[in-house]
């Protein structure tokens, strides 16, 4: 394939990386992508790449690497190509069945951990996907009882695999469309990174999101369809004084505050992400 152009068999780590940087130079993060892909093919860390630039790479690995670089060049997310994404302290398996965990969602984890919640809290993660939020909270708070739900069966299976792989077997995952399979269970904390992108957003035609499930991304014209359901239905599933914390779009904070107020929640607050945009809103059931 054209991937072999300008690169002969028996190339070194440094030569392969240089070739890949060039192939991916039109992308957002050519260097990081190239390193992640080569480290994956070699089954080594990025540090290995720095330490052994002159190491000759086996032909079969070189071929695999070149194929992955070409797929990346066509837009496939690195997380799908290597099947893993780091989130919080965890290494999570990722498949095209769910959203790829995002760094901004670590803000939600960080903020949820700051809430005044007791050691025996019951915690629910709505739309858990890979299980990223549920597993991170359980990792930090081993005495919390954490459940994650997702509408997609394959996501539930994936989250269960991630629980086992990260030695967090006590986290429960089950299939449920928001609260449908949670019967009368109540929680001290409900967290969610729901779909919140506007259905006609330009953003959906660029980058990794093109390869992610649209149902995990969009929620109606204003992106608020699912957030409205969550704010309304959480009332029946929160204990008195329980907290609901939601990730949302940078331009949705006012709408969330309005919805929380409409449903009589108290202590509403927002938190900004690293881009200084409001990204999380939380409130308490009175
Ligand atoms: N923050 C996500 C993004 O940037 C959107 C994910 C979501 O809808 N929950 O793609």
- pLDDT bracket for residue 1 (50, 70, 90): very low
State the pLDDT confidence band at 5, using cuts at 50, 70 and 90.
low
Six-digit token pair at 27? Answer: 């992308």
Mutate to test the pocket of ligand 1, among 85, 102, 150 (most ligand atoms within 8 A of CB): 102
For residue 53, being part of any structural domain is answered with yes
pLDDT of residue 9: 84
Statement to judge: residues 131 and 216 lie in one domain = yes
Model's pTM, two decimal places?
0.94
Q: Is residue 260 part of a domain?
A: yes
What the block records as the tokens of 190 is 């409900």
Is residue 156 assigned to a domain?
yes
Among protein residues, the one with the nearest Cα to ligand 1's atom 9 is 195
State which of 49, 74, 99 marks the end of a domain: 74
For residue 227, give the nearest of 253, 254, 196 by alpha carbon: 196
Question: Taking 50 as the threshold, does the pLDDT of residue 248 lie above it?
Answer: yes
Distance CA 162, CA 140 (A): 16
pLDDT (tens digit per residue) in 173-223: 999 999 999 988 899 999 999 999 999 999 999 999 999 999 999 999 999
Q: Does 168 fall in a domain?
A: yes
What's the distance, CA 208 to chain centroid? 12
Instruction: Tell me the C-alpha to C-alpha distance, in Å, between residue 252 and each of 69, 106, 115, 255, 282.
Output: 36, 19, 22, 5, 13
- pLDDT (average), residues 130-143: 98
**Which of 155, 197, 256 should be mutated for ligand 1, with most atoms under 8 A from CB?**
197
- The predicted model gives 231-250 an average pLDDT of 98
Domain that holds residue 250: 87-284
Q: Say which residue the tokens 């969602």 belong to.
A: 105
CATH code of 50's domain:
1.10.8.10
The set of protein residues with a Cβ atom below 6 angstroms from ligand 1 is 99, 102, 104, 193-197, 209, 217
CA 216 / ligand 1 centre spacing (Å): 8
Would you say how long the chain is, in residues? 286
Distance from the CA of 249 to the center of ligand 1, in angstroms?
7
The answer to whether the beta carbons of residues 87 and 105 sit under 8 Å apart is: yes
Judged against a pLDDT cut of 80, whether residue 271 lies above it is answered with yes
Average predicted confidence (pLDDT) for the chain: 96
Task: Identify the helix (H) or strand (E) that includes residue 269.
Answer: strand 266-272
The domain that holds 132 is classified in CATH as 3.40.50.150
| pLDDT for res 3 | 47
CA nearest neighbour of 166 among 98, 79, 92? 92
Distance 196 CA to ligand 1 centre (A): 7
Indicate whether 44 and 151 sit together in one domain: no
* Interval 45-71 mean pLDDT: 96
- The rounded Å distance from CA 101 to ligand 1 centre is 9
Kindly tell me if the per-residue pLDDT of 134 is higher than 80. yes
d(CA 130, CA 161): 9
Closest ligand 1 atom to 196 CA: 8
Is there a domain that residue 5 lies in? Answer: no
In the block, which residue shows the tokens 């919140």? 196
pLDDT surpassing 90 at residue 4: no
Tokens 């919080």 -> residue: 88
**Count of domains observed in the chain:** 2
Instruction: Tell me: do 193 and 255 sit in the same domain.
Output: yes
Identify how many contiguous H helices and E strands the chain contains and give both numbers. 10, 9
CA of 78 to the centre of ligand 1 (A): 17
Nearest to 213 by CA among 85, 133, 99: 99
The CA-atom distances, in angstroms, between 278 and each of 1, 16, 18, 191, 201 are: 46, 40, 38, 16, 19
């Amino acid at each position: 394939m054209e991937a072999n152009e300008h690169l002969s068999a028996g190339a070194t780590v440094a030569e392969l990386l240089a070739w890949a940087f060039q192939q991916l130079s039109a992308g957002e993060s050519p260097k990081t992508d190239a390193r992640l892909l080569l480290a994956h093919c070699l089954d080594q860390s990025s540090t290995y790449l720095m330490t052994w630039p002159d190491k000759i790479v086996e032909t079969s690995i070189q071929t695999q690497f070149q194929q992955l670089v070409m797929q990346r060049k066509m837009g496939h997310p690195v997380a799908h190509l290597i099947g893993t994404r780091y989130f919080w302290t965890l290494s999570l398996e990722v498949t095209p069945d769910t959203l790829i965990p995002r760094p901004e969602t670590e803000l939600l984890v960080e903020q949820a951990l700051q809430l005044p919640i007791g050691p025996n809290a019951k915690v629910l993660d709505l739309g858990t996907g890979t299980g990223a939020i549920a597993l991170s909270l359980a990792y930090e708070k081993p005495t919390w009882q954490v459940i994650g739900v997702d509408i997609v069966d394959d996501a539930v299976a994936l989250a269960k695999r991630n629980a086992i792989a990260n030695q967090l077997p006590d986290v429960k995952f089950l299939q449920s469309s928001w609260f449908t399979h949670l019967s009368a269970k109540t929680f001290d904390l409900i967290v969610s990174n729901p779909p919140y992108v506007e259905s006609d957003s330009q953003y959906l035609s660029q980058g990794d999101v093109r390869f992610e499930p649209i149902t995990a991304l969009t929620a109606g014209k204003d992106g608020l369809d699912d957030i409205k359901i969550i704010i309304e239905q959480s009332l029946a599933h929160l204990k008195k004084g329980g907290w609901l914390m939601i990730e949302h779009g940078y331009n949705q904070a006012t709408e969330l505050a309005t919805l929380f107020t409409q449903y009589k929640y108290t202590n509403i607050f927002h938190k900004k992400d690293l881009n200084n945009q409001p990204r999380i809103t939380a409130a308490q059931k009175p």
